[in-house]
């Protein structure tokens, strides 16, 4: 049994006028099912793109390339911190730590004072 006759690749053939008319009638019947009152009675003709295959593929390639470049430009736009920004954030962290230590020291002093005051009562 030869598998070549049922191959998935097929040769594109020219359509006869009869085949074109059958296809137009099928499109018109499909159009009648989905047509609303505001739509025209006649099914709109299929849009024919007269560009060459190269031009169509080139357009697809260019649009995908632009999309890819846009994705990477967004990722590359995120930059790291420079030295001044890093120093500033380090100073903020140190100040925050000092404030926390001072607060903890005050709390410890208050606790010690309360212990002493309860001890003498």
Tell me: the pLDDT tens digits for 49-63? 788 889 999 999 999
What predicted TM-score, i.e. pTM, was given to this entire model?
0.34
**DSSP 8-state assignment for residue 10:** -
The tens digit of pLDDT for each residue in 12-50 reads 677 788 988 898 888 888 888 887 777 777 777 777 778
Where helices occur in the chain by DSSP H, the ranges are: 17-34, 53-76, 83-119
Which of 22, 43, 20, 40 has its CA nearest to residue 31?
Answer: 43
Count of residues making up the chain: 121
């Amino acid at each position: 049994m030869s598998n070549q006759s049922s191959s998935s690749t097929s040769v594109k053939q020219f359509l006869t006028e009869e085949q074109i008319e059958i296809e137009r009638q099928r499109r018109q019947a499909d159009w009648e099912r989905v047509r609303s009152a505001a739509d025209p009675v006649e099914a709109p003709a299929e849009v024919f793109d007269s560009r060459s295959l190269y031009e169509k593929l080139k357009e697809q390639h260019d649009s995908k390339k632009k999309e890819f470049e846009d994705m990477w430009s967004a990722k590359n736009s995120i930059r790291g911190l420079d030295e001044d920004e890093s120093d500033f954030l380090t100073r903020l962290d140190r100040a925050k730590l000092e404030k926390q230590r001072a607060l903890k020291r005050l709390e410890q002093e208050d606790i010690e004072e309360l212990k002493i005051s309860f001890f003498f009562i």
